[in-house]
């Protein structure tokens, strides 16, 4: 059994396959939909508007440009929270394809993650519109945002592989992840600032695989701050750990997955 190289892990030589899988994902997802891909913009925008009214006018959260603050976190969270559960089910939902066509199983997971990344990128105009409304002008710290999106994508793809492989053997995982993501959102600074977390509980951000990344999303667009070197090291440690763990599991389990399906 040959080991999967990182070039193969990211389907470097299978661009045509990825293109077709992503096209299929988009066609299936938006078939018979009147608004089509416009939902990728509408959902985070409406969600942000609801949270803005609740937290700005009811709880009176004192965060400057709070709507922009919300969008800077909700758009990447929408990507993460939709890609992970759908990636988890991807192998099981495509068992007919895997039984008929000899394609690498991780290509399905990678295409799922890329499909949702495309949806995230299509939501960026909402962020730009919010910046224009609040007259937040571009700064050098904003170059962190696409970098952090890249880190979040790597973590998301890793989770798609890890959970996707486990789900083949343990179908209850689907329901566990649904509950986990609900708790995970409130444990991640998506709707609130990390400064609102008491100092003695700040360690929670470091043990949350995406916690520091979401701190960076807010700081880069609203806080006009650079993440510290320690925060970048925390992000890098999680990215590398999850990449190597998912790659290890893929090498160990890929040959038995199709048989189990």
Q: DSSP string spanning 53-79?
A: IIIIIIS----TTHHHHHHHHHHHHHH
| Calpha distance 210→155 (Å, rounded) | 8
pLDDT of residue 100: 81
Q: Which two tokens stand for residue 98?
A: 């895997």
Query: How long is the chain?
Result: 261
Mean pLDDT across the stretch 187-197?
89
- Classify 232 as helix, strand or coil: helix
Domain boundaries, the chain: 6-260
Q: Which two tokens stand for residue 129?
A: 């519109």
The alpha-carbon radius of gyration of the chain (Å, integer) is 19
Q: CA 187 → CA 79, 182, 201, distances in Å? A: 17, 9, 11
Higher pLDDT, 106 or 260: 106
Task: Please calculate the CA angle 190-192-198 and round it to the nearest 5 degrees.
Answer: 120
Q: Are 128 and 213 in contact (CB under 8 A)?
A: no
pLDDT of residue 11: 87
* Averaged confidence pLDDT in the chain: 88
What is the tens place of the pLDDT at every residue in 74-89?
A: 999 999 999 999 999 9
Mean pLDDT across the stretch 147-154?
98
Residue 2's pLDDT band (cuts 50, 70, 90)? low
- Classify 193 as helix, strand or coil: coil
């Amino acid at each position: 059994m040959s080991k999967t190289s990182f070039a193969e892990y990211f389907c470097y030589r299978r661009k045509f396959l990825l293109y077709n899988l992503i096209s299929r994902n988009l066609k299936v997802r938006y078939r018979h939909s009147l608004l089509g891909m416009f939902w990728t913009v509408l959902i985070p925008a409406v969600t942000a508007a609801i949270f803005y009214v609740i937290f700005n006018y009811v709880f009176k959260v004192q965060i400057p440009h709070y709507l922009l603050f919300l969008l800077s976190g909700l758009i990447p969270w929408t990507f993460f929270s939709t890609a992970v559960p759908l990636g988890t089910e991807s192998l099981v939902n495509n068992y007919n394809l895997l039984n008929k066509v000899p394609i690498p199983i991780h290509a399905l997971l990678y295409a799922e993650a890329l499909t949702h990344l495309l949806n995230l990128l299509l939501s960026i105009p909402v962020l730009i519109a919010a910046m224009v409304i609040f007259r937040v002008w571009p700064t050098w710290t904003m170059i962190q945002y696409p970098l952090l999106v890249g880190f979040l994508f790597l973590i998301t793809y890793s989770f798609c592989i890890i959970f996707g492989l486990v789900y083949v053997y343990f179908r209850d995982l689907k329901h566990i992840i649904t509950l986990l993501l609900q708790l995970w959102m409130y444990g991640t600074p998506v709707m609130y600032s990390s400064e609102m977390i008491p100092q003695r509980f700040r360690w929670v951000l470091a043990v949350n695989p995406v916690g520091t990344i979401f701190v960076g999303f807010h700081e880069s667009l609203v806080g006009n701050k650079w993440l510290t070197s320690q925060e970048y090291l925390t992000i890098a440690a999680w990215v590398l750990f999850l990449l190597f763990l998912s790659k290890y599991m893929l090498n160990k389990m890929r040959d038995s997955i199709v048989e189990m399906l």
